[in-house]
Structures are given as structure tokens and as C-alpha cells.
Structure 1
Amino acid sequence: MTNTLDERRNQLVDQIMSGRTLPPSVEHAMRTVARDQFLPGLDPARAYVDEAVSIKENPNGPLPLSLASVPSIVAMMLTQLGAQPGDRVLEIGAGTGYNAALLAEIVGPDGAVTTVDIDSDVALHARQALNGAGYERVTVIERDGLKGAQEHAPYNRMIATVGLWDIPGAWWDQLADGGRLVLPLRWRGQTRSVALTRRGDTLVSDGMELCGFVPVIGQDGERSAELLGGQARLHYDQDQPVDAALLEGVFGTPVSEVWADVRVGGEEPFDGMWLRTTVRDDTVCRLEVTAEAMDAGVRRPAIPVRTPALVVGGSLAYMILTRENADAQRPWRMGAAGYGPDGAEVANRLAAHIEAWASARTAVPALTIRPAAGLSEWEAEGHVISKAESVLVLDI
């Protein structure tokens, strides 16, 4: 059985490396740490499938309280982090303890890894799993991760394995100048694993990757509004002037379809359009539409559970697709469906964003972040998004 699991672990790493290059330290850690030891009760073979595993369900919501992340996402974020032997690392979100074990392998005996989790059951599970796998040197703390772990600061690497809407002020006091922070950061309804380096009082990004994570407990910057009697839902940030009352009955108005001169292949990602649009437009939100709504006649969004939408007053527009030529390399044409009194105008606006993205599909915006406090003399160059404790500036 041990040899079989070793083979499965190496096959999983081989699979991950078929799609991306891993630093030798990350590859070694993933081939060394036995993920199955951190997932008791699960068929050990399933530990080496590239999928997330729920470890604690949430009785009050659809998302679990804690997940063992998809291994390829784990590898991607560790690559972004760039931890080195001897580094001091803080992890927010202990999960199963597996990621902390990988970090311990990477930083070695001269480094230090501290992992924090707000949930007592999750923290206990991580502690026991780490001990059982031989990683007693990892420090596990039961605490609100938004507070960090000042007693072991400063850290030259920090990583969050839970979704963040904002960067807590306490983290600024714990990340060393020149240190690196990787976190799943959420704005305008989409989440990116953002790699940031601290330069004085500014965090500067050098990479963003699409991801999805269970949200951290204690941040409440995103709002939602039910439309069409709950058959559709709009998600938006607290700084956006969305008035749900103005959108009541919006799907009862005629739809306006506007088609961009842009096409994509069946496996070609187009989330970059969503990201790019947030650099220029403050009306970007996330729309989810149920099968019941589509059965009732609502135009099918590009991805029903998570499609970018623009909301202006009592009108909205969202991304749609149509298949024009099944034999073409890029058979799907991108467009926008608009509803409301200004639906056609908003749809044209979204179509223009699609065409702007298509001119440079792989371009990644520059992101800088500063604490919200003391910004009166800062002249930001780019598009500003204000959050409770930090200010994001995007440019492209």
C-alpha cells in the first residue's frame, strides 16, 4: 500500500507539472509530504486526485467551513510565495495542516512556520495531523487569522489559504519590509491569488492567478441582492452604489443582445476579461442565474453560477456566448445581454470591455495596495478601489 500511495503522489505531481513549472523546492515538498496522512477517513487513493476535499461542513451555508485545497492550486500559490530555506512563514487558515507541512519542508530546520485558524476543531485536526506526519516543529495557533500572530513576527513570507476581501491592518505590522504576501483577494465578485511584495508602506503585485477559496470569517465587505424572486442573485462590493430596489422587475423587460467581434475556444479561459474590466469600470459585479430563471426565459449567462455583470441604476448587462461555427478553432462568440431601461447601452459598454480585453488577452494588471489610514497625501496612479482597511490601485 505504501508503495502504491508513493506512486500515486508522484503521479499527481507529474500531472501538476504537465501544466506548469514548479520550483525544485516546491516539487520536492509535494513529492515528500504524504497528503493522505492529513485526510483521515478518506480513501487514501483519493488524496492524490487533483480535487478539493471538505473537512468541516458549514451548517449555516452552502460553502464548507474548511477545505483541503486542490493540490494544483496549493502548488501554484507556493510557487507564487517563493519561500526559501530559513524563512519565517505565517499561514492564515490551517486547514488540514498539509500546506504547513509543505512549507516546513521548503523552509527547512532553520526556518519557522506558524499556522493560524479561528476554528478550534480545524486547529486541533491540523496539530494532530502535523504531529502524526513528523512536523511537530510547526506552530499551530487557534486564533482569528485577521489578527495574525504578532508573537512570532516579523515574517518574510505570509500566505492566506482562505479568501480575503480586504488586507487586515494587523498584517502590515507583521510582514517585514521586502517580505512577500500571497493571498486569495476578492474584488468586484472575482477572486485572484495575488502575489505581493512589501516596499515600505506599499504592497506591489507581480502576479495574479484565478482561484476560489472559502471566505475568511470576520470580513463582510460583499453584499448580495436577490432578483426574480430569488432565481437570480447579484453580488457586489459595499463601495458600489447598487440599489436592489431599482432592479426589481429588471428581468421582465425586453433583452438587448450586443455581440462583440471576439471569439473563444471551448477550453479557452475568458476570466481575464472580468479582471481587466475591474481596472476601468466600477460597475462590475457577479451574477448567478438558476436553471429555473433560464427556464422562465432569462438569457443564459456565459457561466450561470458566476458571470461578470455591469449594473447601472435600474439596468444590468452580463456576458453571454453563442456557438457560431462548430468546426472553427474558436467557435464561441462573446457578447452581452442587457435588461432594464438602459439595458442596450450597458450591454454595449460591456461589449466594448470584451473587445478591449481581446486585444491583449493575457495582459495582467498592475496592482498596488496601501493601508487606508494616512492616504491623504498619496496621489494614486490608476483606478482606485477603496476597502475598509486598504486601498487597491489597478492599472494596465
Structure 2
Amino acid sequence: MGQTPTAADLRNRLVDKIRLDGRLTDEVERVMRTVPREAFLPGIGLEEAYTDQAVSIKDNPLGGPLPLSCASVPSLVGMMLGQLDVQPGNNILEIGAGTGYNAALLAELASEKGNVTSIDIDSDVALHARTALDRAGYQRVHVMERDGLIGAPENAPYDRMLAAVGLWDVPAAWWEQLAEGGRLVLPLRWRGQTRAVALIRHGDALVSDGMELCGFVPIIGQDGEKATALNASDTIRVFHDEDQPVDSGALGESLNTTTGIEVMSEQRISGEESFDGVWLRATASDDRVCRLQVMPEAMAQELVLRPAVPVRSPVLIDGDSLAYLIVRREGVDPQRPHQLGAAAYGPHAEKLAQDLIAHIEDWGTARTAVPRLTVTPASADAADGPGHVISKVESRLTLTY
């Protein structure tokens, strides 16, 4: 009978597993092997503390499906810390204190020569982080109860800023808090999908240095994304930005009264291959891209043709018609047995389906390509040049392939 694994054994086993995907830098690997995650998750068993999954630490008081705060998935934490590229001596701001675990990792990366400030809008979460950090020996981390949208100007300018909460917009207050040449890593949401984007400040522009798919609890205080039900039972929804008109009545009527069509592309994938780049590619040219969510009840009743991912698939919406991504297994290619296509409803179903197929084919020409994202303040004059512009309340996004 083998010995019960220690916390260190489990920690190293988890980091070994995360390291296999190749996204851990040497320094991030070192600190993830050093900081005891279990110290920031009281009441959680060791096995669960060292499983690659999120752990909720406070439920949403409004009863929403997402928690108010949680410990993020360790592999996602490691990936974003790699994007942040912390150097010894850096002055760092973390928005969203969570359990305090991430702040401890940042403190290790910045060394005793650096400085870490971690803020959270919720007093209970901030207290939990402060207590856990003290218990684990990270008294030098500054923890503040603060609205993340305001930041912490008293300790600025920051060499690095990291948001551990999802953002729909880049707050205007953050611009002057990030030093010239500094790096900001945040989960940024546009057109229904979220990417962990690394941005470098160049004067009045933040320019991307890579992006990865992710998902995060949204920050409190931003409501630029809307959810619209397309049926009476609220089991089919569209999530869309505030600048995107969605006629729920007309779309619901099309779903109820028209037969869906399927149009398949030439693009095929293996069972393990990601196709989220289709969504990203479409946002760089098409303002009709939203997110479709079909709940299990609607799937069981076969109210619509099955989306590629029922809870989150890209959809094009135009008035009373919509087209969304589907995946069908076709056995002609054993290496790539799955074929991407579009399902569509409404009077303009055929046109919208063909538009979505065009996005799929564009993605197929360079499947791993990501656009360059440039973020500028909404108050600045719009710059001439290439790229697709998405305007938000406080910032302007420009995507260029």
C-alpha cells in the first residue's frame, strides 16, 4: 500500500501536468511549485486543491449562475502569468483579489525588490485574501477593498497590471496607471467570446502581444453585454453587445415557423482540434457576430438543430434571421472526421449561412493565426488605417489580421 501523497507531491504532479501543454515559462513553473495553493483554499481537501479546476469561494448574492469570486483554473493562471512576463522589481497591480493565491505567485515573481497591490470590490473577498496571504507569509502584498474599475492610483505607475476578472471594456482610469512600455493582461470580452489578451502600452495605444481563449467571472459595474431570450421558456438565448440590435420577437418567430437549413464548409477537424478561431476570425470583420446559448431542455426538445457547442457557439444575426456554427461527423477522412458548417433559420437563412461559411473558410487558411488588437481611448480621435473597429463606452478596439 503506497504512502498518502503530501501537498508538495500533489502540487508537483499538477504542475507536471500543466507543463505538458508548453505554456508555462520556467519562472512561472518555479513559483507554482513554491506557493501552497491549499493555504488559500481553507476547507478544501488537498486532492481538490490540486486538481486543474476552478473553486468557488463566494456565491453570487444576486443568485446568478456564476460565483462572485473563485480560485481560477491553475493552468489558466499559469498561462496568464506567462503572458504578464513579470520581472524582479516590478510594481504590479492585480484587479480581483480572489483567494490571494495569484497575488502570492506575483509576489514570488516580483521578488522582495518588487511590489504587489491586489484589490477587490467585495469586503469579504478582500479579507479572505488578506488573511490567507498573511498566513502563508506574504505580508508584503498590499490588499485593498476597492472598485476594480477605478484601480489603485496611489501606488501607480505599474509595470504590470493583471485582471483576474472578465472585462467588457478597458476602464479609462487604468490608462494613466500603466507605465509606458508596461504590460496589461486581462480577459477581454467582445462579440460574445473572451480572450486573455496581453497588451503593451505605447503612448495612447495598447497593442496586443498574444491572446488565448479563456473564461472568467465578469467584473462588477460593466453591463455592455446583453442577454436576450428567443423563446418563452428562456432556454434559447443570444448574448450580444449593446451596439448590436437583436429583435427577439422576429428571431423567435423564425425559429418557430421556419425549417432550419444546413450548409457545410470544406473545413474538417480532428476530435481534439480547437475551432474557436472561427469565432475570433469572424469578429475581425463582421459586426453581426454574437453568442448563442441553447440550454439542455431546448436540446432535449429538439427545438433547434444542434450547435457546435450548445452553451456557447458563434451566431450571425441579421434582423429576423440567424446562422450559427455546427459540427457534423462525416467519415471520409479518418484523421479529420468532423466537418464544420452552418445551421440557419429565417427568410435570409441561405445568405447568412453562406456568410458564416466564408468566415469558416477564412479561418481554414491559417487556423492558428490571431489578429493584432489595438486598444485606444474612446475619447481619442479615431485613427485612419487598416483593421476592423469595435467601439465601446471607454475604449475602441481595432482588430487586424
- What TM-score do the two structures reach when normalised by structure 2? 0.96
Whole-angstrom distance in 1 between the partners of 2:149 and 2:282: 29
Question: Equivalent residue of 1:274, what SS?
Answer: helix
Question: Equivalent residue of 2:359, what SS?
Answer: helix
Question: May I ask how many residue pairs the two structures share in their alignment?
Answer: 395
Partner of 2:290: 285
Whole-angstrom distance in 1 between the partners of 2:285 and 2:23: 32
- Of the three residues 99, 103, 111, the one matched with 1:100 is 103
Partner of 2:373: 367
Q: Percent identity?
A: 61
Question: Equivalent residue of 1:286, what SS?
Answer: strand
Partner of 1:235: 239
How far is 1:386 from its partner?
0.2
Whole-angstrom distance in 1 between the partners of 2:332 and 2:302: 27
How far is 1:317 from its partner?
0.4
8 Å contact kept, 2:23–2:79: no
How far is 1:239 from its partner?
1.2
How far is 1:22 from its partner?
2.2
How far is 1:321 from its partner?
1.2
How far is 1:2 from its partner?
10
How far is 1:315 from its partner?
0.3
- Of the three residues 15, 22, 33, the one matched with 1:31 is 33
Correspondences of 1:1-396 after superposition (within 5 Å): 4-59=6-61, 60-229=63-232, 230-252=234-256, 253-294=258-299, 295-325=301-331, 328-376=334-382, 378-396=383-401
Letter in 2 for 1:257: E
Note the alpha carbon deviations across 1:289-343, whole angstroms, 9 max, x for none.
1233232341000000000000011100001111111871111111000101101
How far is 1:244 from its partner?
2.4
8 Å contact kept, 1:228–1:293: no
Letter in 1 for 2:227: S
8 Å contact kept, 1:380–1:393: no
Question: Equivalent residue of 1:136, what SS?
Answer: coil
- RMSD of aligned C-alpha atoms? 1.3
8 Å contact kept, 2:230–2:249: no
Letter in 2 for 1:246: A
Question: Equivalent residue of 1:215, what SS?
Answer: coil
Letter in 2 for 1:359: T
Letter in 2 for 1:237: D
Note the alpha carbon deviations across 1:160-187, whole angstroms, 9 max, x for none.
0000000000000100010000000000
Whole-angstrom distance in 2 between the partners of 1:242 and 1:258: 23
Note the alpha carbon deviations across 1:35-75, whole angstroms, 9 max, x for none.
00000000022111111101011132010000100000000
Letter in 2 for 1:301: P
Whole-angstrom distance in 2 between the partners of 1:348 and 1:364: 23
Whole-angstrom distance in 1 between the partners of 2:380 and 2:170: 15
Whole-angstrom distance in 2 between the partners of 1:369 and 1:285: 20
Gaps of 5+ in 2: none
Note the alpha carbon deviations across 1:264-308, whole angstroms, 9 max, x for none.
111110001100110011100000112332323410000000000
Whole-angstrom distance in 2 between the partners of 1:127 and 1:304: 39
Letter in 2 for 1:307: S
How far is 1:241 from its partner?
2.6
Letter in 2 for 1:7: D
Whole-angstrom distance in 1 between the partners of 2:138 and 2:146: 20
Question: Equivalent residue of 1:147, what SS?
Answer: coil
Letter in 2 for 1:231: T
Q: Which moved more, 1:105-114 or 1:251-260?
A: 251-260
Q: Aligned pair in 2 of structure 1 residues 242, 145: CA closer, same or farther (>3 Å)?
A: same
Whole-angstrom distance in 2 between the partners of 1:327 and 1:372: 48
How far is 1:352 from its partner?
1.1
Question: Equivalent residue of 1:182, what SS?
Answer: strand
